[in-house]
Amino acid sequence: MRYATWCFDYVYFWWVYYSLDMFIGHDNWFKQEAFLPVHVATDSFGDILIALILVVSAFTVVFNGLIVREYILCFIFQDKVAKIKIEKLKHVLTDMTLAYWVTLTLIPGMTFFTLGTILEVLYWDEILLDWNSYYSVVVEYHLMLLLKDFISFRFIHAYVMHGFNKPPLNLWHQVHHTYKEETITPTAAVMHPVDLFFETFVGCFTLLFLKFCVLSAYHGHVVTPQVHFAAFLFMLTTDLNLHSGNPYSVIYFNPIFDWVFLSNLAHNLHHIPLAKRKEFGVMWDTPIPWRHANPWSGSRARDVRLYNEVFGTNFNFEDDPVSCLFKSTTKHKAEEGPESNQQKIQVGKEEVNAVKLEI
Ligand SMILES: [Zn+2]
Ligand SMILES: [Zn+2]
């Protein structure tokens, strides 16, 4: 299931972004008018309208595409995905609370996209198989993720949005936590606009600010910083896929990162009720579960065990990659097989014995 999900996701995302690139990035009417070069702000109302249509179309393709993908990947594997998530998927399109919040979230989202294009901070250049495209789309996307993780989640999310437990600070974020174990991709868009700013856009704003400082200092005059629109759409894809009912979902567009960090699993555990998280003694506050990279912390195996326990599933993520590299005796087994695997997990001082994972 893991590799089938990865194959589906990589082909699917390649198709979505290739289509967007053909539509926006190549020499056609849209590119001439709206993105190359972006002179929308000084031109006419018609150009602003084109920018609006373009960004709304791109956003709609990515957002709705992710919801369709969620249906496909959860229903294909419905005997393995958590039952509560399958049930939510069946009824999500008639969920009016969700429709209300998604609409409210879309307004600041669309405003940001359109303003970003008009102010020339968001741009789209043809995506090629070269270093420039790789840097502007993939590297800057990873930089935004890192900045968001360190600035927003490590501090604002952990200590403000969850820390005080006093209104209005926690109320903003509690909107996003309306959906708990039943969290799936569509419910990820349920966000208060204030929360949206601090937890979605902050990575992009911080990178733009850093680029402004560095480029202006380097050139000796004010330089408008820019971020590739596709890099921001990658961020959006990551944020939505973190909530998918399929824990093998591609999150980072990088198989090594997706192998090391079980981010979907950790974020789904972050959505369970606070009382349960307190009982487990873990909050899963940051989208990137850094401790998963440390094979000696045991947190990766602990999270897999807790996910299966909470959601009544039987997922196996095999050994962590560092163990795979250093433990030659580690026996790798296929994901779906008749045998069982006994693991001993060291979590801090506490030893959790014999987690039986069907693989
Ligand atoms: Zn939270
Ligand atoms: Zn979330």
Q: How far is the CA of 324 from the centre of ligand 2 (A)?
A: 30
* C-alpha 321: how far from chain center: 21
* C-alpha 217: how far from chain center: 32
Q: How far is the CA of 354 from the centre of ligand 2 (A)?
A: 31
Q: How far is the CA of 296 from the centre of ligand 1 (A)?
A: 26
> Among 297, 303, 250, which residue's Cα sits nearest to residue 272?
303
- The pLDDT assigned to 319 comes to 55
DSSP assignment letter at 288: S
Q: How far is the CA of 7 from the centre of ligand 2 (A)?
A: 25
Give the domain-ending residue among 238, 253, 268: 253
- The pLDDT assigned to 150 comes to 85
- Two tokens, residue 154: 């490590």
Instruction: Based on the fold, state whether residues 228 and 322 are members of the same structural domain.
Output: no
Distance CA 84, CA 48 (A): 43
Instruction: Based on the fold, state whether residues 249 and 260 are members of the same structural domain.
Output: no
Q: How far is the CA of 106 from the centre of ligand 2 (A)?
A: 16
Query: Into how many domains does the chain fold?
Result: 2
Ligand nearest to the CA of 180: 2
Q: How far is the CA of 348 from the centre of ligand 2 (A)?
A: 26
Give the list of residues 6+ apart from residue 67 with CB closer than 8 angstroms, or none: 185, 186
Ligand nearest to the CA of 156: 1
- The pLDDT assigned to 318 comes to 66
- In sequence order, what DSSP letters do the residues of 178-199 get, joined into one string? TS-TT--GGGGG---HHHHIII
Per residue of the chain (359 residues), give pLDDT as tens. Answer: 878 888 898 998 888 888 888 777 666 545 545 554 444 444 566 666 776 777 777 788 888 888 899 999 888 888 888 899 999 888 888 877 778 878 877 787 777 777 777 777 887 778 888 898 899 899 999 999 999 888 877 666 666 666 655 555 667 788 888 888 899 998 888 888 888 887 788 888 899 999 999 998 988 888 888 888 889 889 989 999 999 999 999 999 998 899 889 999 999 999 998 888 888 888 888 889 998 888 788 888 899 999 999 999 988 876 555 555 555 444 444 444 443 333 433 443 333 333 333 33
Instruction: Based on the fold, state whether residues 168 and 179 are members of the same structural domain.
Output: yes
Q: How far is the CA of 52 from the centre of ligand 1 (A)?
A: 31
Instruction: Based on the fold, state whether residues 166 and 307 are members of the same structural domain.
Output: no
Element (DSSP H or E) covering residue 310: helix 299-311
Instruction: Based on the fold, state whether residues 352 and 236 are members of the same structural domain.
Output: no
Provide the terminal-to-terminal Cα distance of the chain, rounded to the nearest Å.
11
Ligand nearest to the CA of 241: 2
Ligand nearest to the CA of 188: 2
- The pLDDT assigned to 38 comes to 43
Instruction: Based on the fold, state whether residues 81 and 202 are members of the same structural domain.
Output: yes
Q: How far is the CA of 320 from the centre of ligand 1 (A)?
A: 26
Task: State the burial class of residue 169 (Cβ atoms within 10 Å of its Cβ: 0-12, 13-18, 19+).
Answer: middle
Ligand nearest to the CA of 159: 1
Instruction: Based on the fold, state whether residues 309 and 238 are members of the same structural domain.
Output: no
Q: How far is the CA of 188 from the centre of ligand 2 (A)?
A: 6
- The pLDDT assigned to 282 comes to 85
- The pLDDT assigned to 127 comes to 83
Instruction: Based on the fold, state whether residues 42 and 185 are members of the same structural domain.
Output: yes
Give the list of residues 6+ apart from residue 136 with CB closer than 8 angstroms, or none: 125, 228, 231
Q: How far is the CA of 270 from the centre of ligand 1 (A)?
A: 6
Give the domain-ending residue among 223, 253, 283: 253
Instruction: Based on the fold, state whether residues 53 and 136 are members of the same structural domain.
Output: yes
Instruction: Based on the fold, state whether residues 246 and 259 are members of the same structural domain.
Output: no
- Provide the residue range defining the domain that includes 293: 255-359
Give the domain-ending residue among 253, 274, 306: 253
Ligand nearest to the CA of 187: 2
Q: pTM for the complete prediction?
A: 0.79
Q: How far is the CA of 76 from the centre of ligand 2 (A)?
A: 24
Instruction: Based on the fold, state whether residues 111 and 32 are members of the same structural domain.
Output: yes
> Among 295, 300, 330, 329, which residue's Cα sits nearest to residue 316?
300
Instruction: Based on the fold, state whether residues 249 and 358 are members of the same structural domain.
Output: no
- The pLDDT assigned to 167 comes to 57
Residue located via tokens 């695997």: 341
Q: How far is the CA of 252 from the centre of ligand 2 (A)?
A: 16
